[in-house]
Structure 1
Amino acid sequence: MREVTTIALDTGSCSHPQRMTIRDGSLRAIDYPALAMLIVHPEEGPILFDTGYDPAFLAATEPFPERFYRWATPVDLKPGRDAASQCEQLGYAPSEFHHVILSHFHGDHIAGLHRFSNAAIHCARAGLEDAHKGNRLMSTRRGILRSLIPGDMGERARFFEEAASVPLSPDLHPFERGADLLGDGSLIAVELPGHCPGHWGLVLNDARHGLHFLVADAAWSLDAIRRDVPPPAITSGFLGQTARVRTTLGSLHHLWKRNSDIRLTPCHCPERAAEARKGE
């Protein structure tokens, strides 16, 4: 795989009872970070995997019924911590980005899209179609904030399902195939079904970490992957499909047991967020 460089961006957090994300967790509310990943490609330049929180999320959850989303998961986003501002601080203007990759369409993963208006948006067709189903209340219940989807999404979308299908390295077993997003083997999208329709992760060859699998919301923590402990059915069934969530988590657990050197990064993992704050 062609080598790229990654920088994890901690874009704020939300608060939620731990037991809603891992079956044996505490009833106490804890903070869940929202990580975006800045990827620097040797030819394509800066690329973003998910956007995390953004002030646009707060604006989108002002009216009802969208306000219920903010009540269910109260958000802490300090000034200058959104992905676009952090990229600017690192010397990458949002206008320079030619690619943004979305794991799925939940509001905490797409809120910053409006800042990257020149970028093609790589995503799942199934996810985009699902995001437009039902009324605003139904969408909010499923974690979708339609006002965060750009109006020119149809022109900018590049669908995972239409990218070239390629075999994955045996090091990634039991995952077998992915979608080569740029055609050069550098960014391989991998379907991770269950969390919601059109939920995918991304595999890359990281200059700092070697083989790196961005697993989005297939698990909320590395702890869940290591111990193969899923969220309770009330959570997985509310957002997606419980059986498929557990199968995907089991596959990630099997991957970790076979090859613990592979770096796995869930978007809401406290361990990975702590590393990001230290610049690791």
Structure 2
Amino acid sequence: MKRFLLIFLGGIVVSLPTWSQNEKIKVTVLYTGTASPLEGSTIQGGSWFKKFPMVHPAFLIEHPKGNFLFDTGLGKTAKTQVQDMPWWARLATRFEQEETAVDQLKNLNIKPERIIVSHVHYDHVSGLADMPEVPVEILPQELEFTKIKGASPAVFPSLFSDKTPWKTYELERKEYEGYSKSRDIFGDGSLVLVGMPGHTPGSVGLFINISNKKRAFLVGDTVWNSEALNNGLPKFWLSRKFADTNSDEVLERIKELQALHKKYPELLIVPSHDAKAVAAFVDLMKL
């Protein structure tokens, strides 16, 4: 649970946030695929002469009160699923598959109790079809987004079925780290969802608070490239038209992330597809 530590500096009382230690939380990154687009396609002003390493992860979160997947990455039928995309979108989203999340979970002898999706683009929910019995938690506006024909070339019918076990939830009107709405998943401040609309209407990010020195923020696809946060830059204009539902809102989210980083420079902000950022997250979770 988030608490506050009062200290005296030159006669001035300063309030600093502190966190309960919860080292029993375990986080495992399940890599399900990779991609190597030109950097220029991932960020405004990026190079068109070098490739940018991207990954397609799912995040397994194990907490003393239960476990869940945050996104699924690419599933067993990903190559077939994307045939529903327009041809130009398929050309722009080429990927190499690795072992699926469901197979990696089987090797770990773990069955997820639920899946929480950051958003419903194919590379984050493709694996839902591999785990049809697992409840899928989603904001109502994001579920509605799946039903709007042509709303996004990255959302298409083969990703879902009439039997997908959706479970909608609402964020509470509780401010958290500058975000007006949040959801404390287990009630102890260790895993907190916040609303991040823009990339899609119901995108969410996940704060992971294990200790004062072991904090991370999974921000989905608000940005693809961590350099976007450093420089306040959006995706390349064509990528924005393809991927972002509301580009103006995405810019607001980027500003929020910059302010957050300034306030907590030790907080690791993790765009889901930035291979370097995800590797740094893996290293942090091992500490």
| Residues 105-120 of structure 1: pairs in structure 2 closer than 5 A | 105-120=120-135
User: Is 1:145 aligned to 2:160, yes or no?
Assistant: no
Larger-Rg structure: 2
1:241 equivalent in structure 2? 246
1:198 equivalent in structure 2? 202
1:88 equivalent in structure 2? 106
Conserved 8 A contact 1:97-1:118:
no
Return structure 1 stretches of 4+ with deviation > 6 angstroms: 276-279
| Residues 47-58 of structure 1: pairs in structure 2 closer than 5 A | 47-58=68-79
CA distance in 2, matches of 1:56, 1:254: 39
Q: CA deviation at 1:192?
A: 1.0
CA distance in 1, matches of 2:278, 2:48: 22
Q: Could you tell me the TM-score, scaled by structure 1's length? A: 0.83
Conserved 8 A contact 1:56-1:148:
no
User: Is 1:74 aligned to 2:74, yes or no?
Assistant: no
Structure with higher helix content:
1
User: Is 1:41 aligned to 2:58, yes or no?
Assistant: no
Listed one character per residue, the Cα deviations across residues 70-95 of structure 1 (whole Å, up to 9, x for unaligned) are 322111013xx221222222331xxx
1:261 alignment partner, one of 240, 261, 266: 266
CA distance in 1, matches of 2:57, 2:213: 17
Structure 1 residues 75, 114: CA separation in 2 closer, same or farther (over 3 Å shift)? Answer: same
User: Is 1:166 aligned to 2:166, yes or no?
Assistant: no
Q: CA deviation at 1:199?
A: 1.0
Q: CA deviation at 1:182?
A: 4.5
What residue ranges of structure 1 are gaps of 5+ in the alignment?
none
Listed one character per residue, the Cα deviations across residues 149-200 of structure 1 (whole Å, up to 9, x for unaligned) are 24323xx323242x544332xxx2x324312345554432111121122111
Q: CA RMSD in A?
A: 2.5
What residue ranges of structure 2 are gaps of 5+ in the alignment?
2-19
Helix, strand or coil at the partner of 2:223: coil
Q: How many residues align?
A: 262
